[in-house]
Amino acid sequence: MRIFFLIAFFLFCVPEARAEVLSSENEAWLSLVHYRPKSFGGYESTVDSETFFLSPEGKTNPQAELEATIALFNSGDDEKKCLFPARYKLLKSHDVDVGKYPKCKDYEEFYQDLHPAGVTLLFTNAYMNNPSSLFGHTLLRIDTGRKGTQLLAHGANYGAFTAGQENSVLFAVLGLTGGYYGGFTVKPYYDIINTYNNIENRDIWEFNLDFTPEELDFFVAHLWEIGHTQTRYYFFTQNCSYMLMETLDAVRPSLHLSDEFPVQTIPLDTIKAVVSRPGLIKSVNYRPSRQAKIIYRVSQMNDTQYDAFLEAVKHQNWSLEGLNDDEKADVLETAYQYIQYQYVAKDLELGDYRKRSFKALTTRNKIEVKEYFEELKEGKSPAEAHDSMRASVGFGVHNGDGFQEVSYRPAYNSLTDDSYGMLSGAEINFLNVSARHYDRRDNYVLQNFDLVGIKSLFPFNDMFFPFSYNIEAGIQREMNPQTEEEGYVFNLVVGGGVSHNITDNLLLYALVNNHLAYGGFVPHNQWAGLGFVGGIYGNWGKVRLLAEAEKVLATSHFADKMKYKIEAAYGLSRNTAIALNYTYHQNYGHDLDETMISLRQHF
């Protein structure tokens, strides 16, 4: 019997314990060195720093790199070994003979400072004041095991080193063409909260990943490796979110997250990919922006509280007239938050800011009663938002001529799309293209090719005074009202104005648009104009409506016109909607009258 067990032991356990010899085609090795398959065979690493590769051919040769790595751990110098703790762990776990890992002071300090206890994927929602943040942002957090709270955790952010050029044209050009290098930086989580929640007023979503202790260790080790490298940064493809996918794949290769983003990487899509992996998410937590917190607190005020609040923040009358003691604390704390908001929004000078903050707090400090207001804890998860790409098919009538239309838009969100989990009041359309077939003429035409369409309608009220704006650039097929011929025009529209809420779901807006148009079809090849827009935007969840009228004054009679348009959508699900578009252009008695009904599908 004993011999039987012994035989069984040798038969089953010993070969198991020796494990497979690590091959350079091993998934774990490929993801750890960020190798991606090339279109015509072979591999190339995403990382561009030469120091990341131990073999001169390392960037494209996984086998040479593996041999060089094994050689390093057998006979190389300790300083270099200290740069690759994760490679060491991987080799060791595959029973490759790699000797003893040296004592690495810098890495040990890094590890101690992080005091790692877990990994969290962070998503911050869109920020309409910075072109590089329109799609939101993702970063990683190394949760801390320190006493206290996760404020003492660290964020690991992958970003482009842009040398403060974010607001220039150069930024757009270099950002799109890989002119910047990207890399990881580590910052305390409280700094990240300040940046996103408090300065930029963006919500943060925390997706807690379910990593084993070994995976956590491996993650920190790999972060150390990759933290010493740089990678060409491409705004749409190899961006902040994409590198996080490769980094998570390096920790758990079976995730195959980066495979899902061969072309474009939209932060929201990476969140959805991570959420879709079974057993990867442990919990989700929402950290609202300061502005969202203020709005939620104000919504809980009774009329007397709201009046006292406005008296304090607008007129510096801190008497809190008419309030019971247990109504005061909440008002004062909201006022304090609002003063912080005003300072960041540059509505307050430093001196006034300090005086008012101090006044609010000393008054609050004298009240013994606790707060009653609830904190904002629930949000609409971006993981449940509609998908980024959209295709639609529709049919309609264009001045009496029936037509069928197909369109495709790779990204991202229209005002009449379902806004659940998205930034409400913000429209970001990229590369929307439509083609039509007309019945009477029996021809196929490209109807429009829009490069970009951005609308930001944030209502002003007693407390917040955001600027609403509109940017459109693209090629459209237009009708010459004098001849009724059609042709292509490149249109650029930049406008600004204000919005105001009538109800929670309905807002009015007024914009002044600045038009520039160019095209061989246009008389004199070009025109410029000013457009005065009045519009209404309603969003009741399933039902969305955008209606606007615009009076255009232009340098060409071709473009001088009154334009009306209505866009309405009814959501059948988060990703599917029926839409109705109506357009009427009044000009010279040769009007344009068009109605279309379409089915929209996000995917």
Partner 1 sequence: MKKIYLASLICGAMMLSSNAGAVDSTGCGLGSMAWRGQSGPVAQVLAVTTNGLFFTQTFGITFGTSGCDPNGRISGGTGRMTLAFLENNLEQYAMDAAAGHGETIETLAGILNMDSETLGAKSKQNFAFLFENENADAVDVTLRLFQVIEA
Task: State which of positions 545-574 bind partner 1 (CB under 8 A).
Answer: 553-555
Q: Does residue 112 belong to the site contacting partner 1 (CB under 8 A)?
A: yes
115 vs 232, beta carbon nearer partner 1: 115
Burial 141-153 (b: 16+ CB within 10 A, else e): bbbbeeeeebeeb
* Sign of the torsion formed by the C-alpha atoms of 176, 179, 182 and 188: negative
Q: Does residue 149 belong to the site contacting partner 1 (CB under 8 A)?
A: yes
Question: Which residues lie below 8 Å from residue 447, measured CB to CB, with a gap of 6+?
Answer: 405, 407, 434, 435, 436, 476, 477
361 vs 549, beta carbon nearer partner 1: 361
Compute the least distance from the CB of residue 148 to partner 1, in Å. 2
Q: Are 162 and 180 in contact (CB under 8 A)?
A: yes
Q: How far apart are CA 99 and CA 75, in angstroms?
A: 9
Q: How far apart are CA 440 and CA 484, in angstroms?
A: 15
Task: State which of positions 303-362 bind partner 1 (CB under 8 A).
Answer: 329, 333, 336-337, 340, 343-346, 350, 353-355, 357-358, 361-362
111 vs 570, beta carbon nearer partner 1: 111
Compute the least distance from the CB of residue 227 to partner 1, in Å. 10
Q: How far apart are CA 421 and CA 413, in angstroms?
A: 11
Q: Which stretch binds partner 1 (CB under 8 A): 7-15, 192-200, 277-285, 478-486?
A: 192-200
Tell me the helix, strand and coil percentages in the chain, rounded to 5. Answer: 35, 35, 35
User: Pattern 209-248, binding to partner 1, x per CB under 8 A?
Assistant: ----------------------------------------
User: Pattern 479-498, binding to partner 1, x per CB under 8 A?
Assistant: ---------------xxx--
User: Pattern 436-475, binding to partner 1, x per CB under 8 A?
Assistant: -------------------------------x-x------
Question: Which residues lie below 8 Å from residue 582, measured CB to CB, with a gap of 6+?
Answer: 564, 565, 566, 567, 594, 595, 596
Helix (H, G, I), strand (E, B) or coil at 520: coil
Compute the least distance from the CB of residue 341 to partner 1, in Å. 11
Identity of the amino acid at 461: N
148 vs 279, beta carbon nearer partner 1: 148
Q: Are 547 and 565 in contact (CB under 8 A)?
A: yes
Question: Which residues lie below 8 Å from residue 22, measured CB to CB, with a gap of 6+?
Answer: 29, 66, 90, 91, 94, 96
With CB under 8 A as the contact rule, the residue among 67, 307, 371, 486 that binds partner 1 is: 371
Residues in binding contact with partner 1, number by CB under 8 A: 63
Compute the least distance from the CB of residue 494 to partner 1, in Å. 6
With CB under 8 A as the contact rule, the residue among 147, 442, 443, 504 that binds partner 1 is: 147
Q: Exposed, middle or buried: residue 52 (CB in 10 Å: 0-12, 13-18, 19+)? A: buried
Compute the least distance from the CB of residue 56 to partner 1, in Å. 30
- Total residue count of the chain as it appears in this document: 603
Compute the least distance from the CB of residue 114 to partner 1, in Å. 7
The number of angstroms, rounded, from the C-alpha of 65 to the middle of its chain's C-alpha atoms is 35
Q: Does residue 398 belong to the site contacting partner 1 (CB under 8 A)?
A: no
Binding site for partner 1 (CB under 8 A): 109-110, 112-114, 129-130, 146-149, 151-152, 154, 164, 167, 185-188, 190-191, 194-195, 198-200, 329, 333, 336-337, 340, 343-346, 350, 353-355, 357-358, 361-362, 364-365, 370-371, 467, 469, 494-496, 512, 514-516, 528-530, 553-555
